[in-house]
Structure 1
Amino acid sequence: MKNRIKAFGVHLAISVVIFLAILALVYFVWFPGVLFHAGAWQGLKIIAFVDLVLGPVLTFVVFNTKKKSLKWDLAAVGLLQIACLVYGLMQLEQQRIVSVVLMADQLSIVHKMDLERAGVEVSDLRHLGGGLPVLAFYDLPEDTTAAKVELQIMATFKGQPQLQVDNYIPMHNALNDETINKRLQWRLDRLRYNIDEQCYWVDIEDKYVDGEACFAPQYGVKQLVQYKDEATLDS
């Protein structure tokens, strides 16, 4: 029993290191900062179960120094865990956030899978400059009715507007262009301003978050608020 517990502990320690590396990748690259709450945790729960529970438990079950097949059993456990982790990471990477787009009075969070389903490759975002996720402004007419009509026409003939990357204006370009910056500021001035955080409250369009974000054009999303439980999620 002591040998089994020791083997379980060693496997668990290795698994914890692996999970922390995955967590860092997810938090700092795929779902940076507060955007972690927009889909990352759903996939991480599966990875955590496989890595921190299933793998070590299987090692505990099969570990018996008297078994001639012990090496093969441990190898099988390791391969199974690796295969599950790779699959989980691939699924999570497909859900990574590739762009955050300010459209009229709404902030759209775009995931890789949704972009590719619309026939757009992530590489099509590279020309906008900077890394992922791309922070962009979707320039629309200031007239509310005209803006709604344009979005409806876009949705009817080309699909979801937030997936039409050719219409993105990188936020750093919008801030540096005097004409576009005036239109951007007009949009922002319509929103509630958070003096303490120096950001604007805007409704979110996302399949994982039902709420609003506190958005700063120079930085991105600083806070998320879930409408259901009114919990504030800080970066």
Structure 2
Amino acid sequence: MSGLIALPCRNAELVIGSMIMRARQAADSVLVIDEGSTDRTAEVVARAGATLVRLAPSDGEGAGVREAVAHAARNRVTLLAVLFDDQVCRQECIDRITEPVRNGSTDLVIGRNGDGRTGLVVLNARAVERADALGTALTGFRALVERAREDGLRIRTLRIPEETGTVAARPAGLPSELRGLATFSEPRAASAAYGAVFVLVGIVTAVWSLASFNATALLYLEGLVIGTGLVVTGMLLFSSPLLADALAMVRRFSGA
């Protein structure tokens, strides 16, 4: 898609880098709206090279949405997609949700998760103009949708598909998936894949050391130590995405 993807977030240092990389694959520009983070979110955004706007926590509910709409209006963006920091979307997911706006059949698309929460909202230039006119009355997506209905804009709701399936289940995308693992452009998948490789190599090394001991009564201690180290490292790599998600969730709810 062409246009702007806005990412309102708070205390999202563990996920925002990956989200920026994915958003760049789907849009011309990426805007991160930091809603009063106390962690290293701003530093990660700066390293990723995305545009950053920092807000104070006291700016109130809907401040991130207002800033995204205002930025799009100032820069005359023809398509704006607002994506929350707890919603992970691949490029094909974003393309599918934005398609009704891009082809002109809809002014505003609401993307909902499986549990019914709003995870992605897409607006064309007309919807951006109407939303920007609300000013401080734009307190969130609900106010935006209500204004759109009052103005007779065309609204459509779509379900955001969950990221299911494996590389083997999508043979047509295998080369790009392998490139993602090799370049860490898909950091979660890469961490799990490399972790599994480390564990496998570590187990083979440790088994070889023990087998040699059984055959010759000579224990290759170095091999056993290296194998154990590889297994431990692999387990840490494999589990790190889950640990990162858990820590991000704790920080988000605690406001730490």
TM-score normalised by structure 2 residue count: 0.24
TM-score normalised by structure 1 residue count: 0.25
